Amino acid sequence: MTEHASNETVTIIDNTNDRQAVMPLLSGTAGAKVIDIRNLYKELGYFTYDPGYTATGSCQSKVTYIDGDEGVLLYRGYPIEQLAEKSDFMEVCYLLLFGELPTKEQKDKFVYDVSHHTMLHDQLNYFYRGFRRDAHPMAVMCGVVGALSAFYHDSTDINDPWHRTVASYRLIAKMPTIAAMAFKYSVGQPFTYPRNDLSYAENFLHMCFAVPAEPYQINPVVAKALDLIFILHADHEQNASASTVRLAGSTGANPFACIAAGCAALWGPAHGGANEEVLKMLSQIGDKKNVGDWVKRAKDPDDPFRLFGFGHRVYKNFDPRAKVIRKAAHDVLGELGITDPLLEVAVELEKIALEDEYFVKRKLYPNVDFYSGIILKAIGFPTSMFTALFAVGRTVGWIAQWNELIEDSSQKINRPRQLYMGPTNRDYVPIEKRS
Ligand code: SDX
């Protein structure tokens, strides 16, 4: 990673012991500068304290930039709005992995290479049989993705760039197959093998919804909407699941284990599990006339109910992805001729929340999960598949962040410290002397 020649510094004055330490102040190409505190403990004997790492930079990265105040999201410098309008998911995968938009030849070869890794080792089919049919698809994803390292020993040497490339392609190619098989298993239908003549999104729809009994017609409107959803979910800087992948990667764990760890972290309702919770919340609200009561509950500090799909650790403005998805939700439902009352509930909820002082003061805006479920439901996915779809789109971002970590010579095993609040040293008490 780029070492900084900056001579800017910050002086930390320790009034307790009448001393100070001078720390380098590092500048990136955009965004907040960072205080390099790597020598803080050596100089002052102190750790920093930042529960949830809300103000901590864990790495240098060139992949994704977010300006939370302005609602800006760039993948390798390109605005998400432009990529959503003009690009496609395979091209965005190439951009995130290699840092530049591909030429036509580069893109064609990338698409060919990825599409020729879409099949799973047939033994993996038996993994699904071990799950109950009603297992949550994310439980299946965590299990099967982790199991890939039992099959692909020829691409687990993280220090071999070729191994990393093969593992990266395998994961991007196989995640849709694994997710589609989880869906098929949950509905008791036979697995549908991938087809290499279809685009990434078309192939996923085919594997999920085609049945042996009749031909499956791919709706181009639906395929384009799904491709857009994958683009919008592809990466998002050092979010909880990407940080989990990086932390696992910092121990030298193989890429399949790292991505399985990312799946597990994404599943949480405060993170990627929110899209499923949004649909449940909108269904609970049921009708736009009930929105006011639920907004009251969300504001009540004594009520654990929170508005899923609202708020964000970084965005204190509209999540730019939410704006794109909101428009796509209206377009897709219109083109499919679907009127979903939950969309009306979502629009009313957004309107009321954005005018309410509680949300305005806390800068709580709709995030990427607020509208995505409306589209996924219209396409025909059950809410239980929403986070699995998020994982399919996010895999390329996890992989790009993981590769960057492995190639970063300044990275060490990630090992945070703590502020210890437990008992100080004390002697063992024999059981007969305990009261
Ligand atoms: C994703 O990090 C990423 O980039 C994630 C992601 C990605 O692409 O990887 O963008 C994907 O995870 C999007 C977020 C999906 N999660 C949800 O929609 C769940 C609902 N949102 C909240 O859980 C919450 O907003 C978080 C977890 C998203 C953010 O939490 P923060 O930044 O820690 O916010 P906070 O808890 O400090 O909130 C500040 C205040 C608090 O009130 P006070 O204590 O100041 O009175 O806002 C309140 C919170 O109680 N608040 C909410 C709220 N979110 C925050 N109140 C009601 N409803 C909400 N949704």
According to the model, what pLDDT value does residue 153 have?
78
Among protein residues, the one whose CA lies closest to atom 24 of ligand 1: 311
Give the residue, out of 364, 387, 398, with the most ligand 1 atoms within 8 A of its beta carbon, to mutate for a pocket test.
Answer: 364
321 lines ligand 1 (CB under 6 A): no
What is the percent of the chain with per-residue pLDDT over 90, rounded to a whole number?
91
Q: Does the CA dihedral 24-25-30-32 come out positive or negative? A: positive
Among protein residues, the one whose CA lies closest to atom 30 of ligand 1: 313
Q: Is the pLDDT of residue 1 over 80?
A: no
Contact predicate 241/265, CB 8 Å: yes
Segment 262-275 shows an average pLDDT of 95
Segment 205-228 shows an average pLDDT of 97
393 lines ligand 1 (CB under 6 A): no
Q: Is the pLDDT of residue 3 over 70?
A: no
Cα of 364 vs centre of ligand 1, distance in Å, is 8
Q: Compute the chain's Rg from CA coordinates.
A: 24
Among protein residues, the one whose CA lies closest to atom 47 of ligand 1: 362
The residue among 201, 236, 179, 246 whose CA lies nearest residue 404 is: 246
Which SS3 state, helix, strand or coil, does residue 305 take? Answer: coil
Task: Measure the CA–CA gap between 117 and 372, rounded to whole angstroms.
Answer: 28
276 lines ligand 1 (CB under 6 A): no
Segment 328-335 shows an average pLDDT of 91
Contact predicate 66/315, CB 8 Å: yes
Helix (H) or strand (E) holding 80: helix 80-86
311 lines ligand 1 (CB under 6 A): yes
List, for residues 278-327, the tens digit of each pLDDT value.
999 999 999 999 999 999 999 999 999 989 999 999 999 999 999 999 99
- Nearby residues of 109 by Cβ (< 8 Å), 6 or more positions away: none
According to the model, what pLDDT value does residue 157 have?
86
**Residues with catalytic roles:** 312, 369
310 lines ligand 1 (CB under 6 A): yes
**Range scoring the smallest mean pLDDT among 145-159, 191-205, 367-381:** 145-159
Cα of 319 vs centre of ligand 1, distance in Å, is 12
What is the percent of the chain with per-residue pLDDT over 70, rounded to a whole number?
99
Give the residue, out of 73, 367, 392, 398, with the most ligand 1 atoms within 8 A of its beta carbon, to mutate for a pocket test.
Answer: 367
Longest pairwise C-alpha distance within the chain: 80
List, for residues 342-366, the tens digit of each pLDDT value.
989 999 999 998 899 999 999 999 9
According to the model, what pLDDT value does residue 68 have?
94
236 lines ligand 1 (CB under 6 A): yes
> Which amino acid is present at 334?
G
> Which amino acid is present at 219?
N
Categorize the per-residue pLDDT at 4 as very low, low, confident or very high, splitting at 50, 70 and 90.
low
| Average pLDDT along the chain | 95
373 lines ligand 1 (CB under 6 A): no
Segment 22-43 shows an average pLDDT of 96
According to the model, what pLDDT value does residue 296 have?
93
- Nearby residues of 325 by Cβ (< 8 Å), 6 or more positions away: 228, 229, 232, 368, 370, 371, 372, 375
Among protein residues, the one whose CA lies closest to atom 18 of ligand 1: 309
Task: Measure the CA–CA gap between 220 and 169, rounded to whole angstroms.
Answer: 25
